[in-house]
Structure 1
């Protein structure tokens, strides 16, 4: 069952928790890839010093964050790795959720080819890795996740696992915001990017 707009139109922390266990789907000319979301981070916009939209205006790369929830916010880090975020909340409330890790479930051979590795545990265990494995790049910026190319779905009969809240990764520059417990992982899942301390 595809996730609908209403799911995304809530605050980023709530959505980040509820994303765990949902499946990210990307349909491309090469094939279909799917992965269960096992790690997320919430970025709460104007009240969060770690967010790209903190003290920013709706222009440039953050522009999509000021639109309706349920769109893809893609950006480049280190000049070489793409990261996928999901825009949440309402228009003019620039909040997002970063997808940090997936558990690969479909199109695994295609993921291995894209990542040039045979190690399944390493395919999607980080935001840059998962974008490479899933074939997600700048062409997906602003994409509506309620359409049929890049979207989320809930598998029938999936049982929600125990969730752990912890500090976000690599945001030491963000003052007190670095200590907010806005990273969410599925407990004991072996596909997370960094083990929770």
Structure 2
């Protein structure tokens, strides 16, 4: 069964009906189709420099400039100010930098009704550690089990690393916490591997 809203289905249906009724009616009317085509050609052949008083629609830029702010000393893995910007790390750098896809991470509605300050803190920490995709799923009824899984991407030592993590628990926060612990262990492994390779 489709998960589209009834409003979007109705709108699409009306557009289809409009074309199914309008085009044949325009074709049957004397010179109707010719006038429609001429109007369309005229609108596409108008020069772009015509001042109609309206500003042209332009897609806003996705990327924002980096802000120069000091990162807190207590964080081992600072979150990049612009998660979509290329890392400026040199190939021999020992910092682990999160790498996000175009949309970035989000829990969306996964924790609706259960959201707490603790889950927000965990979500922030997941992002700081490079979790570029994560999802919370509820399984079963009695006992209800929550599965939290994520994909983390980081740049370390000039190379991009990616790994998938998951954990289950009877409470969603516990599942998130377990997954975060696995992510921390992975970061430790990356650091250890980086130290051993630099020797």
Q: TM-score, normalising length from structure 2?
A: 0.24
Structure with bigger strand share is 1
Greater Rg over alpha carbons, structure = 2
Greater fraction helix: 2
RCO (CA 8 Å, sep 6+): is it higher in 1 or 2? 1
With normalisation by structure 1, the TM-score equals 0.24
